[in-house]
A and B are shown apart, each in its own frame.
Chain A
Amino acid sequence: MFIGAVFILLLVMALLLRAFLISGRGPASARNWLLGGGVLFPVVSLTALLAYALATGERLLAHPVTPEPVRIGVLGRQWQWEVSHSLGNGTTVRTIGTLHIPAGTPVDIRVESADVIHGFWIPRLGGKIDAVPGHVNVIRLTADTPGTYRGVCAEFCGNGHAGMAMTVVAHPPADYAAVLTRLAADTRATPSREIAP
């Protein structure tokens, strides 16, 4: 897409330069020129782009799959993220500002807001979804490799907007259950570092 865009930009610039170099010799048929450059060319390239866009969009949606993906709840509020990890036995582990996910498998994140609109975004995992009061939005993310990923609030939410960060820790799938159990054992699930504005 990026290469295509640069190509089109260069093409238009070249045509512009040509206009100054060989003045007085316009296109033989204005109709064919406008039809070709203004209509046919964009129609063909846009059709391909739209098909590609829709297919990619479909692939990223949270379609029902087996086995069921891990579900994590995220509640945005001014100005922190509260995360609920389900242990599977009916109990949940709450953390502030840290998401624990298994690497290599899709995770469905239910995003809600307690006050104003926030934007849930982990840049390196791709995709973002707004936390809108009164609505529950689900986004499916996959971290390919274990590690730590930085997350931010993307939608302007007031004075603390810049500091409303979070950390995603992707654990090897084999360790994930143990991590959650250990977190649950520590009843006061450690609030992670909060970045001061």
Chain B
Amino acid sequence: MKTISPPRSPVRLHKELDAVWSTPGGWGALSAVNHTVLGRRFIVAAFVFFAIGGVLAMLIRAQLASPHSAFLGPDHYNQIFTMHGTVMMFLFAIPMFEGLAIYLLPKLLGARDLAFPRLGAYGFWCYVFGGSILLVALAVGVAPDSGWFMYTPLSSRAYTPGINADVWLIGITFVEISAISAAVEIVVTILKMRAPGMSLDKMPLLAWYLLVTGMMMLVGFPPLILGSILLEVERAFDWPFFDPARGGDPLLWQHLFWLFGHPEVYIIFLPAAGVISTILPVLARHPIIGYSWIVVSIIALGFLSFGLWVHHMFTVGIPHLAQAFFSAASMLVAIPTGVQVFSWLATLTSGRPQLKVPMFYLLGFFFVFVAGGLTGVMLAVVPFDWQAHDTHFVVAHLHYVLVGGFVFPMMAAAHYWLPHFTGRMPVYRLSVTAFWLIFVGFNATFLLMHLTGLRGMPRRVHTYAPDLGWDWLNLLSSIGGFVMTMGFALFVIDIALQLRFGRPAPRNPWQADTLEWAMPTPSPNYNFAALPDVASRSPVADDPDLAARLASGEGYLGFVRNGWRETLGIHMVTGKPDQIILLPGPTFLPLWSALATGVFFVSLLMKAYVLALIGAGLSVVLLVSWTRGAGLRKDHGPLPVGRGEAVPPHQEASGPPSWWATVFTLVANGTLFSSLLFGSLYLWLVAPGWPPARLLDIGPGLPLAGGFGLVLAALAGRRSLVEKAAAGITRASLWLIATAGGHILALACLVRLVQMVPDPTGHAYAATTAAILVYAGLHAALGILFAGYGWYRSLSGYVSVRRNLDLRIGRLWHDYTAVAGMVALIMVYGLPKVIGS
């Protein structure tokens, strides 16, 4: 091993670190995994999609500007409003804050990169490719046209025979991969990769917001992914999950969609609120008031927002008491939101607020968002919703909440962090003009729209009659929309001018106190030459020379060792360093893997199922190949990290990032499975056409054998870890073979069970039963892969008593598969007995 050579000067240290952390130029740029590069790419791509969504909005407003307009026919209009919603929600809002989080998080927390650089790159490609599928469909005129909410049966094969709905289901599911991977990356990075000393009580509020947002994504997106899979299977193979004639229910789709769709609103709002809690105290020159209050409010919002989904379904004929639960919960979220608003007001009043450019957008936020929140409380009142539901009142409300609660804070963020991205300062005059155009245009468009809705104009109509009192309201809304667009165009020009002519930014131009300003701007690719030691919530204010000290290598890991990309891992709560995290360098593997995944999704779209299988297989092979050469072939033990401390590399640590990532991925996976079980029980209780004519009639033998296989796999998987410690490689390998054997037995039983299920196209009962069995079978099959992988890694010397990470991750999978598989078997065996009795 090379020894650590203390560098002679900050310049020398910079050159050494830069060599290790740089991204190649030319075509090599496609191999980038660095979070600064990926964050910028996410933000730029999201902004392009925002522009596309904006153009679609202008088409909508042009059509509705006058009654009986002949500008667009209903077929085009339906595609346009569907795509406007879809693009703004899935391709703009989510990726935009992901981009900001990916760019900012390591800098804010005092780390050199995110936990999983290649996963970030893979997520980016999935997002771009999935979004491209939708754009291509729009260009050739087969874009989705059943609304961004895709209600069945309108979106089922009978009423949307073309490819339109498939484009949505497949394209969006492709994009969701990036959402889930970003969520895992965000959560693990926040919990494990902060600067030493940054205990949870000293963490910047933005990180708290993003932590809760990440967890919400892990629980919120799976219901939609499941719903999309079920609907695509119904469309492609006629399994009647949502067909009321065969025991399905269109309302199941609405439940799954809004179980995602409502938390989604808060997933978008929370990061924006985090931006406010970061920027506002800096511009008010006063630390935030009520840190702990805000933390508890965020957690409360994270949970409560899952209890609101049925308020999108108040008119579908659900019992009043059920509506009352959701109405009560919908009002309840006003409280944690109110706490935050009052905390911001208190901070402003206590400080000396400065009317800089970002502050304009924050003030705009206050007006627009509070108004949107109040109409939200109105809509939570069930009888009012019965009247206003599906009218332009709701359109106005949701734009007040989303534009006020997301776009305005993001515009503040753009101006606030622009010096960090580009090293140049905003130009006041132009930026403020753009703000006023956007603010006035926005209110002109949507304030009047409340009235249009109350006067009875339903949503999603492509035309209307002239004698209903809607004409002048719609015309003014359209004019307002175009004013707002001019504002955004001016914003783009403004940014372009700043890039070219902006005054170079001084270091820490806003006198902020968070770590992202303790580095040169634009930031170096390794962020910090040495990692800081954090002792309070405002590390930069405590030590104005911090940036200079870090640049000279004073702090943790202020050197290059073995050419490794090193950053520190810490104890989740206390922030004490407990491992050196070794990160991978640039590679094309994420791009190839995303392309293989793309082959899978596009083949599904084209109904070329053999090719889809090849794509899926190729993706798995490529994803497994990421680990080739990753890991260490010998034990290192604790290595010095500076300041007299020494910790082991992550492969030898007890809670490395990849282990936690597996845990959180399984949380998301478990939510998907729970949604499937919920769907199955829901159909039995609520759907018409039950009980089915034929039930799965089996004895206990087959389920018991399958369960035995699963338990065997889990126990043997655990045993392999014990043996590794005691007796070395051979015995452990034998146990891994036993693990695989258990999975094979379980898989055989599950395959046999699937064959015995009545025809899945006949009734939703058979379809859900088959789906549950397929889910369990897929997990057993992957269990074989995990066992084989552990065996292979053991043989090739990557596993030792200390370095048993591969086996521990395998163990998590075997345990999860055993639990989920047993639940599946009990459900499949037990439900027919209950239905039959």
Contacts and interface: CB of A to CB of B under 8 A. Distances in A.
Interface of A: 1-2, 5, 8-9, 12-13, 15-16, 18-20, 22-27, 30, 33-34, 37-39, 41-43, 46, 49-50, 52-54, 56-58, 60-61, 78, 115-117, 119, 121, 123-124, 126-130, 132-135, 137-138, 150, 152-162, 195, 197
B496 interface: no
A129 B317 contact: yes
Contacts of B459: 154, 156
Contacts of A39: 335, 338-339
A23 B349 contact: yes
B7 interface: no
Contacts of B346: 26-27, 30, 33-34
B688 A5 contact: no
Nearest to A152: B458
B762 interface: no
A20 B324 CA distance: 41
Nearest to A22: B349
A58 B320 CA distance: 8
Contact of B383 (A127, A153, A159, A197): A127
Contacts of A1: 378, 381, 384
B669 interface: no
B159 interface: yes
Interface of B: 74-75, 78, 146-147, 151, 153-154, 158-159, 244-245, 249-251, 284, 286, 289-290, 293, 297, 315-317, 320, 323-324, 327-328, 331-332, 334-335, 338-343, 345-353, 355, 363, 366-367, 370-371, 374-375, 377-378, 380-384, 386-387, 389-391, 455-456, 458-465, 468, 687-689
A132 to B, nearest CB: 6
Nearest to B75: A159
Nearest to A159: B74
> Which among B159, B386, B688 has the greatest number of chain A C-beta atoms within 10 A?
B386
Given A25-B349, A135-B244, A161-B461, 9 more contacts: A12-B366, A16-B363, A19-B348, A26-B289, A39-B338, A41-B338, A53-B383, A128-B386, A129-B317
A164 to B, nearest CB: 9
A43 B338 CA distance: 10
18 contacts: A1-B378, A22-B349, A25-B349, A25-B350, A27-B350, A30-B346, A37-B338, A38-B335, A46-B331, A50-B328, A53-B380, A134-B245, A134-B687, A152-B456, A154-B390, A154-B391, A155-B390, A161-B461
A156 B345 contact: no
B763 to A, nearest CB: 13
A153 B462 CA distance: 13
Contact of B317 (A115, A123, A137): A137
B339 A38 contact: yes
Contacts of A2: 378
A134 B381 contact: no
Given A37-B338, A132-B251, A60 B383 contact: yes
Given A12-B341, A57-B323, A128 B461 contact: no
A16 B463 contact: no
Contact of A13 (B151, B244, B331, B366): B366
B335 A119 contact: no
Contact of B458 (A37, A115, A121): A121
Contacts of B331: 46, 49-50
Contacts of B389: 119, 128, 154
Contacts of A195: 465
A157 B390 CA distance: 12
A135 B251 contact: yes
A27 B367 contact: no
Contacts of B244: 133-135
Given A128-B390, A134-B250, A152-B456, A162 B74 contact: yes
A42 B338 contact: yes
Given A61-B320, A116-B159, A156 B460 contact: yes
Contacts of B146: 156
- Most A CB atoms within 10 A — which of B286, B331, B352, B689? B331
A8 B337 CA distance: 14
B210 to A, nearest CB: 22
A125 to B, nearest CB: 10
A130 B320 contact: no
B374 A9 contact: yes
A162 B348 contact: no
A124 B468 CA distance: 12
Nearest to B359: A20
Given A153-B458, A162-B463, A26 B350 contact: yes
A30 B348 CA distance: 12
A97 B578 CA distance: 72
B316 A12 contact: no
A20 to B, nearest CB: 6
Closest 9 A/B residue pairs (Cβ): A134-B244, A26-B350, A38-B339, A123-B456, A137-B317, A19-B348, A162-B461, A37-B342, A5-B374
Contacts of B456: 123-124, 150, 152
